[in-house]
Amino acid sequence: MRDPQQYIEIDTIAKCNAYFGIETKHPLVSIVDLSTVSDIDIDQAQLHLYAVVCASLDGNISGHVRFYAPGHKIGSYNYNSLDIDGWILIFHPDLLEDTLLARRMSEYAFFDCKNSTTLHIDKHEIRTINNCMLSLREELQNDTDRYTQRILVSGIAVLLSICMRYAEHHTSPIMTSNKNVVARLNTLLNFRISHSMTNSELPSVAECARALGISANYLGDLVRKQAGCTAKEYIQNYIVNEAKIQLSRSSRTINQIALDLGFKYAHHLTRLFKRITGMTPNQYRMREKSV
């Protein structure tokens, strides 16, 4: 007899599809039409996949979207196909490998590995999300080729961005809770970088804290708790990661990249980059090209 405290590991799309009794069309992503599946009974499982559940209630007049991140533990769960209609998007973290979305996932504040987050939506929002799900399902019906991953990841990014829009429109606590301060900080830093002016200063902890509506000390405490480093280290690591992306994916000079990221001089970027990575930007670029 299995230990009641032992969780079943749901770590592949194939294993997840087996619970729903559906065919696996792609090894890293699945779309489940809840209206077509039979009853499901899951007893204590740990999810190692991302999942987005869009459920329609009251004859599609209202509904909700629920989000699960890898690491989420599911207690005893029973689903009856007569109770609810909707869709489930399930995807493996490996689907996002080497994609822009992989860097942006932390911005989607509704993903929490400990607790599922619920977003309540109206009938018009249900229709939009359903259309996203249908588009993804249609792509899964096609033969896999070199464009498949790009199209699927783009479709998922659109769906998640639409959900973020609805969260903001509904003034959801998802967007304002201090437990999501790292995700909010990521959004702020991304905006700052994408709108930076030549010779502007790097964003400081105090500046970020003001923009987030909290004190610098409190921001530092929250980042340390959530990310395991100081707020200054987090900001610097974020900037260096952005530099890595530009170095590996563009032919822009080190000076151009440094200016884009808010450094007054290229050697300021070089010094920070080497301190964090152990190599200069040029060495990193050469290494990436040789891989």
- pLDDT, one tens digit per residue, over 252-273 is 899 989 888 888 889 999 999 9
Q: Hey, what are 23's tokens?
A: 């065919």
pLDDT band at 194 (very low <50, low <70, confident <90, very high): low
- Which of 59-63, 187-191, 266-270 shows the lowest mean pLDDT across its residues? 59-63
* 54 has pLDDT over 50: yes
* pLDDT value of residue 198: 46
Q: Which CATH number fits domain 8-169: 2.60.120, 1.10.10, 3.40.50, 2.60.40?
A: 2.60.120
Instruction: Kindly report, as residue ranges, where domains of CATH 2.60.120 are found in the chain.
Output: 8-169
pTM, full prediction: 0.58
pLDDT band at 105 (very low <50, low <70, confident <90, very high): confident
Distance CA 164, CA 158 (A): 10
Per residue in 206-223, pLDDT tens? Answer: 888 887 777 788 888 888
Task: Count H helices and E strands in the chain, helices first.
Answer: 11, 10
CA angle at 68 for the pair 173 and 136, rounded to the nearest 5° = 110
Distance CA 171, CA 209 (A): 20
**Chain-centroid distance, C-alpha 222:** 20
Three-state SS at 11: coil
Instruction: Kindly report, as residue ranges, where domains of CATH 1.10.10.60 are found in the chain.
Output: 178-290
**Chain-centroid distance, C-alpha 199:** 31
* pLDDT value of residue 39: 62
202 phi, psi to nearest 5 deg: -65, 145
* 110 has pLDDT over 80: no
* pLDDT value of residue 228: 84
Distance CA 128, CA 8 (A): 34
* pLDDT value of residue 58: 54
Distance CA 126, CA 56 (A): 7
Return the closest-CA partner of residue 213 out of 180, 182, 176. Answer: 176
Give the residue with greater pLDDT, 8 vs 97: 97
pLDDT band at 174 (very low <50, low <70, confident <90, very high): very low
Question: What mean pLDDT is reported for the chain?
Answer: 82
- Report the percentage of the chain scoring pLDDT > 70: 82
CATH fold of 178-290 reads: Arc Repressor Mutant, subunit A (1.10.10)
